[in-house]
Chains A and B, each alone.
Chain A
């Protein structure tokens, strides 16, 4: 929960509410972009990597950093844990 997980912004779902679809290691997850919204249109963020903490994009990062972070998270076992938590989230 404290270590963020990198994901790639693939689609803006709701600009007004800052919601986007983010691909996190192959898992698609709705993410809130409220902390990284640019002055320009949200669509300028499509394709960018971001560090996601509990469903919120907390910073924009470059691809190299994203890959490195994914690797260390995998080594720590946190990647598997976060992905599992994301998929197990009981939203219905």
Chain B
């Protein structure tokens, strides 16, 4: 347990690990085949790799890295759409930095910028709105990305634009929603997940109630978890206790941040501005029903999909990319044929290599910690 010393409270980490090692011995089903525990959120993936948690866990537990990194699940065609918008006249295209390097079929946003398009990295949608105020002669498009964590910020920015009557601000909405995604994973024939570590910051917005179906309809447990290594270990232990006792409940390990009912102000803004799409295309996972949101009709004038020519083509990933299998947990990152060869964080082929929350990039950066354990 050499890395445990790095933890803020090594004693507690050791105690938790001992409990985890002890309890798996009491779960008969995992003796032949490891339990599949999925961490839904990319923040957890990052933390798990950074602290080498996998190497500390008993062999009876396998962590499956879920699809909860919004940059990683962007399909190539969507990047092409961004580039197509950015190439139109009088456009300032604004995006979070994370999305700049995601490859499209023609080019990434970063390449489009190098070739002369006005693409700007912004920290916040509010900064994009500020650009719209400052450049009334330009059309400022914000690339809205992320799950429920960042969705309220986009919604509130749009409401602010409306309040001020700013009419040169547009949203290219690619927000995705977590619940249908978890449902798709539960319905997938390729995989069986025994329990979930629930996303902390998404839950801070949506609360606990939306997860109830996981226990009531699928009889699987979920524990909303914090990001510290101790949080992850503690949440894992809570899951294992439930699995041992044959229970399937929704629990909250991250109460200090996640209120049971979520954030009502944020939820209200979401309901006002967004509605569910019929379906939405994910990289590697295909189309998932109701997994994305779009602007309501009342906000159509801000909707880049309606106000710009957007190709909206489905582009297949390069054949050598196995992001889909990795996203679904069927393959481990290093089992992808191009991992660390044609695909590295410097020159990513797949989106999972781009963001530090992507399993491939996290594994590439911290993999040495675990390498001995493969």
Q: Chain A residues in contact with chain B, CB under 8 A? A: 1-4, 17, 30, 32, 34-37, 51, 53-56, 58-59, 61-62, 65, 68-69, 71-72, 75-78, 81-82, 85-86, 88-92
- A2-B43 contact given A78-B356, A85-B121, CB 8 Å threshold: yes
- A32-B357 contact given A53-B149, A86-B123, A92-B134, CB 8 Å threshold: no
Contact of B263 with A1 in the complex, beta carbons under 8 Å: no
Contact of B124 with A89 in the complex, beta carbons under 8 Å: yes
For the complex, what is the distance from the CA of A76 to the CA of B48, rounded to whole Å? Answer: 10
For the complex, what is the distance from the CA of A74 to the CA of B267, rounded to whole Å? Answer: 30
> Which residues of B are found within 8 Å of A1, using beta-carbon distances?
70, 96, 98, 145-146, 150
For the complex, what is the distance from the CA of A65 to the CA of B50, rounded to whole Å? Answer: 20
For the complex, what is the distance from the CA of A3 to the CA of B69, rounded to whole Å? Answer: 11
How many positions in chain B have a CB within 8 Å of any CB in the partner chain? Answer: 50
B251-295 CB contacts (< 8 Å) to partner A: 256-257, 259, 263, 265-266, 269
B147 lies within 8 A of chain A by Cβ: yes
> Which residues of A are found within 8 Å of B101, using beta-carbon distances?
none
> Which residues of A are found within 8 Å of B307, using beta-carbon distances?
none
Contact of B150 with A2 in the complex, beta carbons under 8 Å: yes
> Which residues of B are found within 8 Å of A34, using beta-carbon distances?
152, 156, 265, 269
Contact of A36 with B47 in the complex, beta carbons under 8 Å: no
> Which residues of A are found within 8 Å of B123, using beta-carbon distances?
54-55, 82, 85-86, 88-89
B102-156 CB contacts (< 8 Å) to partner A: 120-127, 130-131, 134, 145-147, 149-150, 152-153, 156
> Which residues of B are found within 8 Å of A2, using beta-carbon distances?
41-43, 68-70, 146-147, 149-150, 201, 357
Contact of B201 with A91 in the complex, beta carbons under 8 Å: no
Q: Chain B residues in contact with chain A, CB under 8 A? A: 8, 41-43, 46-47, 50, 68-70, 94, 96-98, 120-127, 130-131, 134, 145-147, 149-150, 152-153, 156-157, 160, 163, 201, 204-205, 227-228, 256-257, 259, 263, 265-266, 269, 356-357
Contact of B50 with A58 in the complex, beta carbons under 8 Å: no
Contact of B160 with A56 in the complex, beta carbons under 8 Å: no
Pairs A-B, 10 closest by C-beta atoms: A55-B124, A89-B123, A90-B120, A56-B153, A35-B266, A91-B127, A35-B265, A54-B124, A85-B123, A34-B156
Q: List 27 A-B contacts (CB under 8 A).
A: A1-B145, A2-B68, A2-B201, A3-B227, A32-B156, A34-B265, A35-B265, A35-B266, A36-B265, A37-B265, A51-B201, A51-B257, A53-B150, A55-B127, A56-B124, A56-B153, A59-B263, A69-B227, A71-B8, A75-B50, A76-B227, A81-B356, A85-B96, A85-B97, A90-B120, A91-B134, A92-B131
